[in-house]
Amino acid sequence: MLSRRQFLKLGFGAMGTVAGLSFLWEYEGLNHSIPVLLYHRIGQEDNPYTITAEHFESNVKALSQEGYTTLSLNQVQQIIQHKAVVLPEKPLIITFDDGYLDNYLYAFPLLQKYSMVASFYIITGIIGQADRLTISQIREMQAAGMDFGSHTVTHRLLGTLSIDEVKIELAESKVTLEQIIGSKVDFVAYPGGSYSSDTLQIAQEAGYMAGWSTRLGVETFKHPFTLKRIPIFHHDQTHSLSYILLKKGFIPGLLFNL
């Protein structure tokens, strides 16, 4: 007799073949990997972390045309919890670190234009400062389907801090953000991609479910507190997104033309 897990694998495999457009992904059965893009700023600033709105639109337009569908954090959460989750044929995750105002001004409308969602990681100690998202902007974006996570209180590198400092950075930012968005904050993005084994333990104890690092690669969600991402930088705009991804060897299956 088949176990429930075996049954799910067989059932979902058949459903994927017949349906074509979408399939149910049973976490351990199909062992998928999902690209997670990491952006920072959208604008004209001349630094590696800022890309133009035109560059960002060329990315999301191409991804949309190629059939990629962005996942919500709720869907990511289900994957991490090993739940059988209905996924689009070409899943994609988009993240933004640092909570800049330009995310609201440029990225948010473009994401909506292409029916995409993203998650934004907020430095809670500087919410509302001149170049950062305000509380009302965060709430407006959330109401439109965007997700939010912690990027700590002060953006100090967690891997360099004392255990007590890390606890404060992770716990206080979580509480602050939960008060703003009125729902649980399950994800953290480590500033500068910095963490230690203590950081991961403290994040778990603070009630997070997962942590985004800046380790490069396509994510398989086997290690939820060191999730990999693919950063898109200013200098990348001279190349196509697919060129960058393929050159870095991340996504053999992500073959599309820009």
The footprint of Zn ion (CB under 5 A) covers 97-98, 191
Return the percent helix, strand and coil in the chain, to nearest 5: 45, 20, 35
Q: Report in angstroms how near the CB of residue 38 gets to Zn ion at its nearest.
A: 10
Q: Report in angstroms how near the CB of residue 41 gets to Zn ion at its nearest.
A: 10
Backbone φ and ψ of 214, nearest 5°: -115, 20
CA–CA distance, 258 with 51 (Å, rounded to integer): 16
Q: Report in angstroms how near the CB of residue 3 gets to Zn ion at its nearest.
A: 43
Query: What torsion do the CA atoms of 95, 99, 105, 109 make, to the nearest 10 degrees?
Result: 30
- What is the DSSP track for 137-161? HHHHHHHTT-EEEE--SS---GGGS
Q: Which of 9, 156 has the CB closer to Zn ion?
A: 156
Q: Which of 70, 213 has the CB closer to Zn ion?
A: 213
Q: Which of 91, 231 has the CB closer to Zn ion?
A: 231
203-228 exposure pattern, b = at least 16 Cβ within 10 A, e = fewer: beebebbbbbbbeebbbebeebbbbb
Q: Report in angstroms how near the CB of residue 155 gets to Zn ion at its nearest.
A: 6
Q: Report in angstroms how near the CB of residue 132 gets to Zn ion at its nearest.
A: 12
Q: Which of 23, 56 has the CB closer to Zn ion?
A: 56
Q: Report in angstroms how near the CB of residue 73 gets to Zn ion at its nearest.
A: 18
Q: Report in angstroms how near the CB of residue 106 gets to Zn ion at its nearest.
A: 18
Q: Which residues contact 88 (CB under 8 A, 6 or more apart)?
A: 22, 68, 69, 71
The answer to whether the beta carbons of residues 92 and 69 sit under 8 Å apart is yes
Backbone φ and ψ of 44, nearest 5°: -105, 0
Q: Which of 29, 192 has the CB closer to Zn ion?
A: 192
**Residue nearest Zn ion (C-beta atom):** 97
DSSP 103: I
Q: Which of 57, 98 has the CB closer to Zn ion?
A: 98
Structure tokens that stand for 91 in this block: 């899943």
Q: Which of 98, 169 has the CB closer to Zn ion?
A: 98
